[in-house]
Amino acid sequence: MSLNILSIRLKWLREKKRLSQKEIAAEIGVKTVNAYQKWEYGEREPKLETLGKLAKLFEVSADFILGLSDDTPESKAQEREIYFYREYLNRKRLEFADSMFKDYLPEEHKDQLYNEVRNLESELFNAQARYVKTMILIPFSRSINEKNEYVKDTYPFRISFYGNYEDKEFAISIGDRMNHEMLFFVYNDEKEFLINLNEIPSKLNTNPEHVNESDLLSRRIKEHKNPFLNF
């Protein structure tokens, strides 16, 4: 366990609840606010029973507080929503493709299926964008390297970009932890591509308290020399 992760996640969860350290201490039955402060400042570890109370209060798992999991009720609900849209969209795409070989079906029916597919694509894109924003705000999410050490300022996504200057083709892709493509942006203008390369992290993250995280991700993208980049 890393005290650094525990302390930072405790502070992040408390601030999300808009509660003071004194209020948290009172909620979990800690006698003095100083005892709670030692956990949030990384000076001591809470006992197992107290960790359970904190998890219940913040509505997350103890593993999340300890940095062993990145899952929250919000992120898990969003993952289920994305799974639903993906499955439903695949079925509708097959239904639409099948309809194109059935001449007896009226064109109005085919148009309706086409519009349903496009609407579902839009709903899936929006659901994935919400998930990306949720996960990118979680401190230290997916931050364990190959040596099982915790690394600061990492993100739970594969962020890639490609630039073909001869054909004027540019793209930015954001994938999830399972390498599913979440968001994909295509540009034919170099200037627009470079602007969005700088701005996409901040567009996904509109909370002013986390502007530095967005700036850091953007800077890491811009400074990388290789045309392909994964995080």
pLDDT one digit per residue (tens) for the chain, 231 residues: 445 788 889 999 999 999 999 999 999 999 889 999 999 988 888 999 999 999 999 999 999 998 888 889 998 999 899 989 999 999 999 999 999 999 899 999 999 999 999 999 889 888 887 887 787 778 765 544 444 444 444 455 666 666 666 777 777 777 765 566 666 777 777 777 666 666 655 544 433 333 334 444 444 444 443 333 333
Last-in-domain residue among 36, 66, 96: 66
Last-in-domain residue among 13, 34, 66: 66
Please give the Cα distance from 169 to 143 (Å, whole number). Answer: 32
Domain identity same for 176 and 204 = yes
Asked if residue 87 belongs to a domain, the reply is: yes
Asked if residue 144 belongs to a domain, the reply is: no
Asked if residue 149 belongs to a domain, the reply is: no
Asked if residue 108 belongs to a domain, the reply is: yes
Residue 95, domain extent: 73-136
Q: Can you give the pLDDT at residue 199?
A: 61
pTM comes to 0.65
Domain identity same for 89 and 121 = yes
Contacts for 32 with CB less than 8 Å, ≥ 6 apart: 25
Query: 157 near 138, Cβ under 8 Å?
Result: no
The bridge status of strand 181-187 relative to strand 169-175 is antiparallel
Total structural domains within the chain: 3
Domain identity same for 62 and 80 = no
- Token pair 């364990």 is found at 144
Q: Can you give the pLDDT at residue 200?
A: 59
Please give the Cα distance from 195 to 4 (Å, whole number). Answer: 34
Q: Of 206, 204, 213, 216, which is closest to residue 172 (Cα–Cα)?
A: 204
Last-in-domain residue among 136, 166, 181: 136
3-state SS, residue 150: strand
Q: Can you give the pLDDT at residue 221?
A: 44
Integer CA distances (angstroms), 213 to 37, 80, 216, in order: 24, 26, 5
- Token pair 């997916």 is found at 142
The sheet that has 181-187: what strands, in order across it? 158-164, 169-175, 181-187
Q: At what angle do helices 190-204 and 107-136 cross, to 10 degrees?
A: 70
Domain identity same for 46 and 96 = no
Integer CA distances (angstroms), 179 to 3, 142, 161, 174, 209, in order: 30, 13, 15, 9, 28
Please give the Cα distance from 67 to 132 (Å, whole number). Answer: 19
Domain identity same for 15 and 39 = yes
Asked if residue 209 belongs to a domain, the reply is: yes
Please give the Cα distance from 132 to 169 (Å, whole number). Answer: 25
Domain identity same for 171 and 198 = yes
Q: Can you give the pLDDT at residue 201?
A: 53
Asked if residue 91 belongs to a domain, the reply is: yes
Domain identity same for 61 and 15 = yes
Domain identity same for 112 and 169 = no
Domain identity same for 127 and 162 = no
The CATH number given to whatever domain includes residue 39 is 1.10.260.40
Domain identity same for 28 and 47 = yes
Asked if residue 145 belongs to a domain, the reply is: no
Asked if residue 187 belongs to a domain, the reply is: yes
